[in-house]
Structure 1
Amino acid sequence: MPQSLVKNYVHIVFSTKYRNDFIDEEIEDELFRYIASICKDFESTAIRIGGTDNHIHILCLLSRKIALMKLVQEVKAHSSKWIKTKGSKYEDFFWQDGYGGFSVCRSNLEIVKNYIVNQRKHHEELDFKNEFVEMLIENKMEYDEKYLWD
């Protein structure tokens, strides 16, 4: 085949270091727009970004030209540097080292988008740790919980 045709929707999830509450409602919209621009720079269109004070979800169409690991690395590096410029309360901001990446079927895009939009409401009843473990189980991913948290 003379051309590469790829369409990979990916749901990316990662938290702040030690799940510290840094992403308050005062900064989240600007942070999410900034992350969307980073994704765009790497030809990976952000479809929806959301989260709570200690973690984010990114639903994107991953470029055929970049590995997921590289996109996450770039998003974390650039957004971490950016958020530290937003005031003294953000100067100790860091993202956790790892991330979760889950493929999304095109027919499930609306479900995932709605899930991401409603993160603050969702987390009134469920903390991030339990949410992430549920995602791993739902996606039948093997894991050792002692390596999930820093």
Structure 2
Amino acid sequence: MVETRQHKMIAINGMNDHLHMLVGFRTTQSIGDFMQDVKADSSQWINDNRFCGGRFEWQAGCGVFSYSRSQVPNVIHYIQTQKEHHRKVTFRQEYLSFLEKFEVEYDERYIFQSPA
């Protein structure tokens, strides 16, 4: 686990079109500021190391969901098994199911678009 004064990275894993992170936050933290830092720092690292054929950029926005401490082992397992999980369901299908499960109202125009 990576731990700083502001957050604790508990689990991270992703696919070619998205990333899942389980992060412990303090109540005084801003998720928006955290995500801005994650996106800026990771974009710079990816571009500095030329991991992509062109310039890497994150899409605008992100999805954030909270879980109780009792759910942490399940969430970690879910994050660790992304490859198997996405053989059955696309990221878009998964994200829409999260929005429905958590009863989040959304506008279809602002939902994740598959990379070109």
Runs of 5+ consecutive residues of structure 2 not aligned to the other structure: none
Q: 3-state DSSP class of the match of 1:142?
A: coil
Give the partner amino acid of 2:39: K
More deviation, 80-89/117-126 = 80-89
CA shift digits 1:42-94 (9 cap, x unpaired): 62100000111110011010133420111011100111111112226354211
Residue 98 (structure 2) pairs with residue 131 (structure 1): no
What is residue 41 of structure 2 aligned with on the other side?
78
Contact 2:46 2:52 in 1 (8 A): no
Separation (CA, whole Å) in 2 of partners of 1:109 and 1:88: 31
Q: Which of residues 72, 84, 95 is equivalent to 1:121?
A: 84
Runs of 5+ consecutive residues of structure 1 not aligned to the other structure: 1-35
Q: 3-state DSSP class of the match of 2:56?
A: coil
Alignment TM-score, normalising by the size of structure 2: 0.87
Structure number with higher strand proportion:
1
Separation (CA, whole Å) in 2 of partners of 1:48 and 1:131: 18
Residue 48 (structure 2) pairs with residue 47 (structure 1): no
CA shift digits 1:15-45 (9 cap, x unpaired): xxxxxxxxxxxxxxxxxxxxx76xx446210
Residue 60 (structure 2) pairs with residue 107 (structure 1): no
Separation (CA, whole Å) in 1 of partners of 2:69 and 2:8: 14
Matches within 5 A, 1:12-23: none
Alignment TM-score, normalising by the size of structure 1: 0.69
Q: What do you get for the CA RMSD once the two structures are aligned? A: 1.8
Deviation at 1:127, TM superposition (A): 1.0
Separation (CA, whole Å) in 1 of partners of 2:50 and 2:9: 26
Give the partner amino acid of 1:123: H
Residue 104 (structure 2) pairs with residue 141 (structure 1): yes
Deviation at 1:120, TM superposition (A): 0.9
Q: Among the aligned pairs, what percent are the same residue?
A: 33
Q: How many residues align?
A: 113
Contact 1:44 1:62 in 2 (8 A): yes
How has the CA–CA distance of structure 1 residues 117 and 88 changed in structure 2, closer, same or farther, with 3 Å as cutoff? closer
Separation (CA, whole Å) in 2 of partners of 1:102 and 1:137: 12
Separation (CA, whole Å) in 2 of partners of 1:61 and 1:80: 22
How has the CA–CA distance of structure 1 residues 62 and 90 changed in structure 2, closer, same or farther, with 3 Å as cutoff? farther
Structure number with higher helix proportion:
1
Give the partner amino acid of 1:99: C
Higher relative contact order (CA 8 A, sep 6+): 1
